[in-house]
Amino acid sequence: NAGVMQNPRHLVRRRGQEARLRCSPMKGHSHVYWYRQLPEEGLKFMVYLQKENIIDESGMPKERFSAEFPKEGPSILRIQQVVRGDSAAYFCASSPRTAGANVLTFGAGSRLTVL
């Protein structure tokens, strides 16, 4: 069981470009969560998805950010027209059911640097 796989591990973009971060959940997990980690700010919830559905996107910025979890393939977090403030580590986590009492399994993260 390969665990939660995130790629790329490191991504460098110039201001105005697009960033696409991918997350393959653990086998058998149909719930995916995205978090953003900024220095000294801890982990901020962004979005919670199940296959083909966005369940909770209350932590997503209203513009430029979007997420999907298609029926086939990985979940994707997309950031359009990146700005320096988007530089952060983005973590994906998965669980077999809604979080509740369930432990989240985290990927190693994708570190985005915007020049």
Partner 1 sequence: AQSVTQLDSQVPVFEEAPVELRCNYSSSVSVYLFWYVQYPNQGLQLLLKYLSGSTLVESINGFEAEFNKSQTSFHLRKPSVHISDTAEYFCAVSELDSSASKIIFGSGTRLSIRP
- Residues binding partner 1 (CB under 8 A): 4, 33, 35, 40-45, 48, 55-56, 91, 93, 98-101, 103-104, 106-109
Burial grade of 70 (CB within 10 A; 0-12, 13-18, 19 or more): exposed
Q: Which is nearer to partner 1, 28 or 72 (CB)?
A: 28
Q: How far is the CB of 77 from partner 1 (least distance, A)?
A: 15
Q: Kindly provide the residue ranges of all beta strands, DSSP E only, lying in 1-115, ordered along the sequence.
A: 5-7, 10-13, 19-24, 31-38, 42-50, 53-56, 65-68, 75-79, 88-95, 105-106, 110-114
Please check whether residue 37 is in contact with residue 43, taking contact to mean a CB–CB distance below 8 angstroms.
yes
* Residue among 80 and 102 whose Cβ is closer to partner 1: 102
- Minimum separation from the CB atom of position 47 to partner 1 (A): 9
Which residue lies nearer to partner 1 by CB, 17 or 89?
Answer: 89
Instruction: Report in angstroms how near the CB of residue 50 gets to partner 1 at its nearest.
Output: 9
Nearer to partner 1, 17 or 105 (CB): 105
Contacts for 59 with CB less than 8 Å, ≥ 6 apart: 44, 45, 46, 47
Closest distance of CB 101 from partner 1, Å: 5
